[in-house]
Amino acid sequence: MKKYIIALIGFVMLLHIVSAQPATSKEQQELEKQRQQIKREIEQAQELLDNNRKTTKENMSTLAIINLKLNKQENVIENISREINLMDNNIFKSQKDVNKLQLVLDTLKEEYTRSMLYAYKSRSSSDFLNFVFSSPSFNDAIKRINYLKSYRSYREMQGENIARTQVLLKDRIDELSGNKQKKNVVLQIQSKEVDALQTQQEEKNSVVNKLKAQGKELNNQIAAKKKQMQKVNNAFAAAIKRSNDEARKLSAANKVSEDRNRRDAAASSAEDNNKKESTTSNKKTGKKSRTVTEPVNTKSVFLGTDAELSLNTNFERNKGNLPWPVNSGYLLLHYGLNKLGNGVEVISEGLSIGTVIGTPVKAIFDGEVKAVDNYDDLQMVVIKHGMYFTGYSNISGVNLKKGQMVTVGQVIGKVAANLDGVGAIDLMISKDKSELNPGIWLKPR
């Protein structure tokens, strides 16, 4: 009987492990959520592209938006591939569970057959009575009766386990079938997305050919874009230089004032000492007076106050978590070298974010306005955050003044159209005179 109990415990544990397998995958749900978000971004990029084509012919911004769509489409396909891998794992686990349950069911049936065969052979009442009355003692007869009752209960439990295992096996087979059907659906979706990627690639090739046919006109567009970017970069650098020069002058003036105050304090102290010496006895002490020195100010000239130092520290602490200057938008140009295709290359010292013309532009951190410059009927705002500076160009409707304090999220202007007629805001970040990549300072989208 002991071996039956051990086998029964083993079967129950195995059934518990199999039945504990999760029916759905949280990872799949998360991937589906991510895919829907990417699809929405593709739709918004398409809206930008359509608006661009309504106002202008094919240009570099068109190519940049198409490249954006291609990247997003590739992200969708990668997302689906990851989901398919998860489904393959689920199918493998479900098949493994089916095999385990089938083995358990076969074993249970085999044991049940043997027990039923034994019960059939000893089915007569005389066999039962002989088994009981052949006991050497009364206590042993009671044990034999209890054994027969337990054996009868064991057979009933075997039948229940077989029925339960059959239900679990059916559930796992249905789950396996469902996972395979879901995989087929996802494979069809993947096939459609691959076709969409191919269509977008053909669209890009068509735009590249049109740009190539423009020849000199395209070169003029590129030259104009680079010229405007250089103008903005120079204005940004000039604003930072002016701010630094002002900080140095202020620091020098403060130092002169501190030195004057220190000399006045020293002279006053010497006069007080002379008065004390004249009123004391002529006793010679042999001690020399000590000179009190002020602590050295180790702050940078660009962090002249505790408030500026705190602002600088908080800006650094928010690296990678700064808000975007617009609520919605997509990168037309990233920081550094941008290869747009057809040999078109543009080096950007910031981010060019495409969005709807007229969209409010917001400060990405607290700070002081150091410049409001105009160029080509557009405006640029430079804000100081301690030793850090942020520049917002290709905007309009600015109503700020130099020296004004702004807070994070405060509207500083509106998105204007760039040279291609597309709404875009250019964002630059610098520490003193060193340009930084805004992409690693803004929070991920």
Q: What is the pLDDT of residue 116?
A: 67
Residues 164 and 223 occupy one common structural domain? no
**In the predicted structure, residue 288 carries a pLDDT above the cut 60:** no
Residues 251 and 188 occupy one common structural domain? no
Residues 208 and 223 occupy one common structural domain? no
3-state helix, strand, coil split of the chain in percent (to 5) is: 60, 15, 20
Residues 179 and 254 occupy one common structural domain? no
Burial class of residue 443 (count of CB atoms within 10 Å of its CB; 0-12, 13-18, 19+): exposed
* Residue 42 placed within a domain: yes
Q: Which residue has the higher pLDDT, 341 or 411?
A: 411
Q: Residues 190, 194, 195, 200: is their CA dihedral positive or negative? A: positive
3-state DSSP call for residue 267?
helix
pLDDT band at 391; cut points 50, 70, 90 = very high
Residues 83 and 175 occupy one common structural domain? yes
Q: What is the mean pLDDT of residues 290-313?
A: 66
The CATH number that applies at residue 411 is 2.70.70.10
Q: How many CB atoms lie within 10 A of CB 356?
A: 15
Q: What is the pLDDT of residue 398?
A: 95
User: Of 214, 241, 272, which closes a domain?
Assistant: 214
Q: Beta strands of 63-129 (E only): which ranges?
A: none
- For Cα atoms 366, 372, 375, give the angle at the middle one, nearest 5 degrees: 135
- Greatest C-alpha distance within the chain: 138
- What pLDDT, in 10s, does the model give residues 43-84? 888 887 887 777 777 777 787 888 888 889 999 999 999 888
The boundaries of the domain holding residue 356 are 215-260+303-445
* Residue 275 placed within a domain: no
- Segment of 49-63, 112-126, 300-314 carrying the highest mean pLDDT: 300-314
Q: Which residue has the higher pLDDT, 183 or 438?
A: 438
> Which residues in 49-78 are b (16+ Cβ under 10 Å) and which e?
bebbeeeeebbbbbbbbbbbbbebbebbbe
Tokens of 222: 């590129």
* Residue 15 placed within a domain: yes
User: Of 214, 248, 278, which closes a domain?
Assistant: 214
Q: How many CB atoms lie within 10 A of CB 207?
A: 22
The phi, psi pair for 283, rounded to 5°, reads -65, 130
Strand partners, 381: 372, 392
* Residue 80 placed within a domain: yes
Q: What is the pLDDT of residue 303?
A: 77
The phi, psi pair for 320, rounded to 5°, reads 85, 0
- What pLDDT, in 10s, does the model give residues 422-437? 889 999 999 977 899 9
* Residue 281 placed within a domain: no
**In the predicted structure, residue 297 carries a pLDDT above the cut 50:** no
- What pLDDT, in 10s, does the model give residues 25-49? 688 888 888 889 888 888 888 887 8
Q: Using CA atoms, how far apart are residues 232 and 211, in angstroms rounded to an integer?
A: 26
Residues 88 and 14 occupy one common structural domain? yes
Among 330, 323, 327, smallest CA distance to 51 is for: 330
Residues 359 and 394 occupy one common structural domain? yes
**In the predicted structure, residue 344 carries a pLDDT above the cut 80:** no
Residues 223 and 318 occupy one common structural domain? yes
Long-range contacts of 217-221 (CB under 8 A, 24+ apart): 218/60, 218/344, 221/59, 221/60, 221/419, 221/420
**In the predicted structure, residue 7 carries a pLDDT above the cut 70:** no
Helix (H) or strand (E) holding 220, with range, is: helix 216-279
Question: 427 with 392: CB under 8 angstroms?
Answer: yes
Residues 133 and 48 occupy one common structural domain? yes
Residues 113 and 221 occupy one common structural domain? no
**How high does pLDDT run on average in the chain?**
78
Q: What is the mean pLDDT of residues 243-247?
A: 82
User: In the block, which residue shows the tokens 């339960």?
Assistant: 164
The CATH number that applies at residue 203 is 1.10.287
**In the predicted structure, residue 405 carries a pLDDT above the cut 70:** yes
How far apart are the two ends of the chain, measured CA to CA in Å? Answer: 65
Please count the residues of the chain: 445
* Residue 196 placed within a domain: yes
Q: What is the pLDDT of residue 28?
A: 82
Q: Which residue has the higher pLDDT, 415 or 24?
A: 415
Q: What is the pLDDT of residue 272?
A: 61
Number of domains in the chain: 2
Q: Using CA atoms, how far apart are residues 399 and 434, in angstroms rounded to an integer?
A: 28
Residues 439 and 362 occupy one common structural domain? yes
Burial class of residue 145 (count of CB atoms within 10 Å of its CB; 0-12, 13-18, 19+): middle
Q: What is the pLDDT of residue 365?
A: 97
The predicted model scores a pTM of: 0.62
DSSP state of 334: -
Residues 166 and 252 occupy one common structural domain? no
H runs (alpha helix) in 280-348: 306-317
